[in-house]
Chain A
């Protein structure tokens, strides 16, 4: 086979692949992203099958297990030990995966959808509407994120739904700005001008020409936002603004009073903490991998 033939074959191999297929190829070759997928899939499976994995009811107390006022560490009976009320820590961490995943996904969905709508309107309509929306976003961004979330929870009262709304709200301006910037960059493209010239209606140009091209940074940000959301939710839970029923096995809430038992029962702090780190790490790794895979500057390189 001649060199020319070899090269033409390579060109053929590369030619038909679109942005997404190429991104997927690159993602598969990124060891970090693979680890991220493994962590996130494990996390999701644990959340999904929690009732099958957990040996005990996460809310069932057994005060007779406590020794000298606190909690025995890991044993064959209780893999991760028991907490201050004699509840099985392993079961609580397993069920906690459900809450973290659910709250994280819903929170990001709230922030993403509201942010995208606002960003799309601002970016595409422009003018007065644009200024109004973006100044509002500026005001939201001028309050530090966690304080804003605390404020919203304080107004709505503590609880799971309220946390989701609060964490989601802090992410609205990020997505709105991102999409607006991305749309402004796309709006001047030749294919958009061409579509306008042949009389395609504005909302169809937005939906089928601009959005698909503007969306890849949003996907990267969305993945990274999941990581932030899990951390923020745990932070609110840690501050005591989490689920109103304190027996709810939410990871952040589980960490709240552990500093009191640090001397005798460090496992109570370490185990839920490590669970948070692992799930957050997973989303961060995938997000980083996606960013590299979707970066147009890197496309076409190995």
Chain B
């Protein structure tokens, strides 16, 4: 097990090097550099040259790359060209926002998806089963941003129950030691702030959670259908184990394997969905950050941001594989 983890971590190194080179080259392929984006069309050649010198953009590309790698190794992603703040500072604010959103979305989809799939399988062929199939089909067929717009229209614009944009109301005063606003509110013991933060979280989380909800419900249903006809389930029933125990210990426990894998895979995909959800709800996370950075040709933000997101993505996938081995004693990685 340990050897497997170590080997996977070692395999990460070439991927990360390749990735950093790719991102580095790609950004330099973008039409129009940061100097043009910053100065607009009226910038003179001299001004452009000055900014390029200031950010070291006039040096040969391999020199730029080597300098960049050395800085990254020290945990320095450079300064954003747009806001002039260190990229790491912005990352510290943006990353918790996206993680909080992704976590809420995952919680929503797991808490709803597993029971939905489980009971659909138990009541195979009934109305509930059909309803779960429809939910999972619609979940993967509705574009996230469209669902987000509809939710916003119904619950924020028409009914006025929930806020339309952002993470917290402007009037609420809250310290942000962790930048996870839910945690911040709990630490401060500020219940009205907590309530406000949760209200802001609901719609984006439901929109973002729709795809994992669909996939989890579907996989759970299939897995339970598969497992409940196994010999050991029949044996358990025959020897008189309480139906409830059979459900939890024998069926759900074994159905959990494919479910856990899918949850892990979906966690990675959430990062893609977050870009669109954040755009609709003006959520100040990584997605909106990177999209604005592309428009502004903010090289340091793009390099640091994409590299960071990809590392998280790769690590999550590794974690999934490890988890998989932990839950499934039949799999032994060597």
Contacts and interface: CB of A to CB of B under 8 A. Distances in A.
Nearest to B147: A273
A255 B30 CA distance: 26
Given A136-B18, A144-B271, A146-B272, A155 B29 contact: yes
B322 interface: no
B141 A281 contact: yes
B294 interface: yes
Contact of A262 (B149, B279, B313): B149
B14 A144 contact: no
Question: Counting chain B CB atoms within 10 Å of each CB, which of A150, A259, A263, A276 scores highest?
Answer: A259
B30 A154 contact: yes
Given A136-B18, A284-B140, A255 B269 contact: no
Contacts of B271: 144, 147
Contacts of A273: 142-143, 146, 149-150
B124 interface: no
B310 A142 contact: yes
B137 interface: yes
Nearest to A284: B141
A114 B145 CA distance: 29
Contacts of B142: 273, 277, 280
Interface residues of A, number: 38
Contacts of B19: 139, 142-143
Contacts of A255: 145-146, 149
SS of B interface (majority): helix
B80 to A, nearest CB: 17
Given A155-B26, A259-B152, A277 B146 contact: yes
A147 B272 contact: yes
B31 interface: yes
Contacts of A136: 18
B11 to A, nearest CB: 8
B232 interface: no
B268 interface: yes
A26 to B, nearest CB: 18
B220 to A, nearest CB: 16
Contacts of A258: 149
A147 B137 contact: no
Contacts of A270: 150
A151 B15 CA distance: 18
A97 to B, nearest CB: 16
A288 B291 CA distance: 34
Interface of A: 135-136, 138-139, 142-147, 150-151, 154-155, 157, 227, 231, 234-235, 238-239, 252, 255, 258-259, 262-263, 266, 269-270, 273, 276-277, 280-281, 284-285, 288
Given A139-B15, A142-B15, 11 more contacts: A139-B19, A144-B313, A146-B275, A147-B275, A151-B26, A252-B143, A262-B153, A262-B157, A273-B143, A277-B143, A280-B143
